[in-house]
Amino acid sequence: MTPFLLVYLSVYTLLHYYAFRKIRAAFLPGKKIRLGITLFMAAMIAAPIMVRMAERAGIETGARFWAYASFSWMGLLFLFLTLTGTVDLIRLAILAAEKIRQQKFTQARVSPRQLFAAQAIVVVALYGYGLFEATDIRQEHIEIISPKITEKTGRIRIAQISDVHLGLLVRESRLKKILAEIRKAKPDILVSTGDLVDGQPSHLNREARLLAALNPPLGKIAITGNHEFYAGLQVASAFMETSGFTLLRQQGMAVGGINFVGVDDPVVKNFARKTSGAEHEILSAQAKENFTVLLKHRPEINPYSSRLFDLQLSGHTHKGQIFPFNLFTWFFYPQRAGQLTSLNVADHGKTPQRSNNHGTSGHMVPQLAASGTAMRTFVRDPDRSPRDVVPCDRLPLNSGFLYLSRGTGTWGPPIRFLAPPEVTIIDLLHGE
């Protein structure tokens, strides 16, 4: 048994045990009902593993059914545990305060059954919203002004998608919405920063045709994420090539006067022979006069590379996908999803700070010491419509910047909560 599988089974079993205790306290079920609940939970724990086994065996219909059932249950369970865990912590705090003060703060007591019913209603409502949010694909805009973009070129528009996870759950209907947002933006080039596929892509012929029909003037570029290796690099690569993407693996290429460098996800070492060339060596080999975009699935910064590119585009974290999992992803990847992060040595790890220049709640990039590429970002103003954006000042850029996408699709549970999906639009403009 792999370490990942062992951790998954242990943690997921404990979560189900906690939920079982809540059900038992609320309803006091008899032995037969308790046995039925136990068998159901055991099936849900094993189902994600069985789904992958069925998919690899070519049993697509069965795999899809169990994927919808088990991952929907997983989403409901996560929401339920978040809500009940929060309520339990509040109740413990009240009990502790009452013991310390030796007085009752309230005489009202809610029965376990009433509390469970109320929590279940809230969870179902949140799940319904999560289904909506998962399909509410938003455009995020970044504008970069750089002397490396020639006056003749004028503007290069890049559309970034990440973590689409085409597979058993994210299919044709979702992909059509994603492609509609891309077409609205009319990009010059489309980049996919990993995890385009999830599971076996052999049944994604319609999705491949939809992607192939999208033909930006400068083409489409993709890199590997961890899920391309989980699916099988050969079949994942074939899908991306059929879809019209140029796959960059530890490689660079110049398109429209822009250097694009793509590197493999670190998980490559567990599945395939790593392609030659270290990240900083590949970046160093690119034309210095060109604006350089590093495509890297995980938002990890190589200290040897941070001054060799102008912009790194990453994904992987989904911003947790379901709150409060963003706190866990932030622990491992402290860069904030949906915001631009300065990689300047003096400002390493900082995110754009709140601006006082506009009378809005926009964000701006920290002032850096050296001049060079200028940056202007656009972010949504929470006091306005979700579709509105707020322009921020142009400020000098010393080394590179990182943009971490919240992701475009979903993995596991088919919902998002407080982590809406995005298509990122990056405009590269000429300017001093």
The reply to whether 95 and 161 lie within a common domain is: no
Residue 271: the pLDDT is 79
pLDDT of residue 344: 66
Is there a single domain that holds both residue 109 and residue 252? Answer: no
CATH number at residue 405: 3.60.21
The per-residue pLDDT for 361 is: 29
Together in a domain, 110 and 165: no
Tell me the pLDDT tens digit for each residue of 140-181: 999 988 889 888 888 999 999 999 999 999 999 999 999 999
Residue 283 shares a structural domain with residue 389: yes
Which of 133, 168, 188 is where one domain is finished?
133
Same-domain check for residues 168 and 122: no
432 residues of the chain, pLDDT tens digit each: 578 789 999 999 999 999 999 999 999 889 999 999 999 999 999 999 999 999 988 899 999 999 999 999 999 999 999 999 999 999 898 888 888 888 887 766 788 899 999 999 999 999 999 999 999 999 999 998 888 988 888 899 999 999 999 999 999 999 999 999 999 999 999 999 999 999 888 889 999 999 999 999 999 999 999 999 999 999 999 999 999 999 999 999 999 999 999 999 999 988 766 666 789 999 999 999 999 999 999 999 888 888 899 999 999 999 999 999 999 998 999 888 988 887 764 344 444 333 333 332 233 333 332 334 444 444 333 333 433 333 333 333 456 789 999 999 999 999 999 999 999 999 999 887
Looking at the 3D structure of the chain, how many domains does it have? 2
- State which of 83, 117, 133 marks the end of a domain: 133
Domain of residue 86, residue span: 3-133
Q: What is the pTM of this model?
A: 0.85
84 and 146: one domain? no
Instruction: Return the pLDDT at 101.
Output: 84
Query: Quick one: 119 and 163 in the same domain?
Result: no
**Residue finishing a domain among 133, 161, 188:** 133
**Looking at the structure, do residues 222 and 343 belong to the same domain, yes or no?**
yes
Three state DSSP letters for the chain: CCHHHHHHHHHHHHHHHHHHHHHHHHHCCCHHHHHHHHHHHHHHHHHHHHHHHHHHCCCHHHHHHHHHHHHHHHHHHHHHHHHHHHHHHHHHHHHHHHHHHCCCCCCCCCCHHHHHHHHHHHHHHHHHHHHHHHHCCEEEEEEEEECCCCCCCCEEEEEEECCCCECCCECHHHHHHHHHHHHHHCCCEEEECCCCECCCHHHCHHHHHHHHCCCCCCCEEECCCHHHHHHCHHHHHHHHHHCCCEECCCEEEEECCEEEEECCCCCHHHHCCCCCCCHHHHHHCCCCCCEEEEECCCCCCCCCCCCCCCEEEECCCHHHCECCHHHHHHHHCCCCCCCEEECCHHHCCCCCEECCCCCCCCEECCCCCCCCEEEEEEECCCCCCCCCCEECCCEEECCCEEEECCCCCCCCCCCCECCCCEEEEEEEEECC
Residues 179 and 228 in one domain: yes
161 and 104 belong to one structural domain: no
Identify the pLDDT of residue 58: 87
Clarify whether residues 111 and 196 are in a common domain. Answer: no
Same domain for 52 and 160?
Answer: no
